[in-house]
Amino acid sequence: MGHDKLRKFAENETFSCLLQPSAEELLADGYFHLRDHAVKGQWNKRFQNNNPIVLELGCGKGEYTIGLAERDPERNYIGVDIKGARLWKGAKYATEHAMPNVAFLRTRVEFITAFFAPGEVSEIWLTFSDPQYRSENSRLSSPLFLERYRSFLKPGGIVHLKTDSRFLHEYTRAVCEANGLRVLAQTTDLYGQPDESIHPAVREVKTFYEQLFLEQGYPITYLSFVIDHEGPFVSPRDPEQFDSKAWRAAEGPRLLFGHDSAETRRQKLHAAPFSVED
């Protein structure tokens, strides 16, 4: 491990806005029987107010959490990510700028129900989440995750999805349709086709990856919806609702930091007219 990461991990221990729970304690009774953390149901006490709580899941460096919190001091914002070296940047900024409405939680998103009580959260942001082409249950807008969110969202709680992935956007839209979820706003080109019904902050606050993809010319999509569904959530099975193969193909090869990722290499090999074996 590099010295810079070690430095960041050590400094993380000094940030009161950053909670780093033990995974071993959460999993003491097994993956399917998570133990509740002591902070569950106590976040308003931690913030010392009763303002609404908004989560950003997979927040990375926390710039979106910070940006929303700076523009909206009447709400409490919590950024969630598993990468401590990334969270360091947001936690350090919030600490140095004495931001009372910001907190960060270092944990896996799969464990999120261990930290929030029923009705404790008002909104959720999913910003540039991994599309998880091969594993539906790993997508942060899948029925499995929506069930988790429903356990702690207030009635009428809102989920926001902001992504460069048309695959993930269309999948999430189809999930909403399959489950009769009320869509509040949607666009497949947030900046190219401005919609006045979408709150200005959605465009004004940008993540690190959002800036990167915009510079590369990729359109940014946005979708917000209400989890107002009773009964089990279902996946979109009708190809007319969502054709997984077609949207995956439409995504096309994607560069990250100017280089091929594992996914772009896979797509390019798949699209090649012949393989090495030929």
The pLDDT assigned to 216 comes to 85
The neighbouring-strand residues paired with 79 are 56, 104
- Which of 235, 232, 190, 198 shows the shortest CA–CA distance to 214? 190
- Which of 70, 96, 91 shows the shortest CA–CA distance to 79? 91
| pLDDT(276) > 70 | no
The pLDDT assigned to 76 comes to 98
* Average pLDDT rounded to a whole number, residues 185-206: 90
Q: Is residue 244 part of a domain?
A: yes
The pLDDT assigned to 257 comes to 52
3-state secondary structure of 43: helix
CA 151/CA 232 separation, integer angstroms:
12
Alpha carbon dihedral 232, 225, 249, 193, in 10-degree steps, equals: 170
3-state helix, strand, coil in the chain (%, to 5): 35, 20, 45
Tell me the percentage of the chain whose pLDDT exceeds 90: 77
The pLDDT assigned to 274 comes to 38
Q: Is residue 278 part of a domain?
A: no
Question: pLDDT tens, 222-274?
Answer: 999 999 888 999 999 888 889 999 999 888 766 555 555 545 544 544 444 43
Distances (CA, A) of 238 to 135, 175, 178, 231, 259: 18, 11, 9, 20, 35
The pLDDT assigned to 228 comes to 85
The pLDDT assigned to 1 comes to 61
78: part of which helix (H) or strand (E)? strand 76-81
Q: Is residue 109 part of a domain?
A: yes
Q: Is residue 219 part of a domain?
A: yes
* Catalytic residue list: 130
Q: Is residue 277 part of a domain?
A: no
pLDDT band at 278 (very low <50, low <70, confident <90, very high): very low
How does strand 102-106 pair with strand 18-19? parallel
pTM for this entry = 0.89
* Average pLDDT rounded to a whole number, residues 204-233: 91
What domain count does the chain have? 1
Q: Is residue 236 part of a domain?
A: yes
Residue 38 burial (CB count, 10 A): 11
* Average pLDDT rounded to a whole number, residues 153-171: 96
The pLDDT assigned to 220 comes to 96
- Which of 139, 256, 278 shows the shortest CA–CA distance to 265? 256
Burial of 89 (0-12, 13-18, 19+ CB in 10 A): middle
CA 220/CA 238 separation, integer angstroms:
26
* Average pLDDT rounded to a whole number, residues 12-36: 94
Burial of 244 (0-12, 13-18, 19+ CB in 10 A): middle
**Residue 234, domain extent:** 3-271
User: Which CATH number belongs to the domain containing residue 232 in this structure?
Assistant: 3.40.50.150
**CB within 8 Å of 85: residues ≥ 6 apart:** 4, 5, 8, 9
The pLDDT assigned to 273 comes to 42
Whether 137 and 110 have beta carbons less than 8 Å apart is answered as: no
3-state secondary structure of 199: coil
Answer positive or negative: Cα dihedral of 188, 190, 195, 201.
positive
Which residue matches tokens 């900046």? 191
Question: pLDDT tens, 39-95?
Answer: 999 999 999 999 999 999 999 999 999 999 999 999 999 999 999 999 999 999 999
Q: Is residue 43 part of a domain?
A: yes
Q: Is residue 84 part of a domain?
A: yes
Residue 206 burial (CB count, 10 A): 19
Chain mean pLDDT for the chain:
90
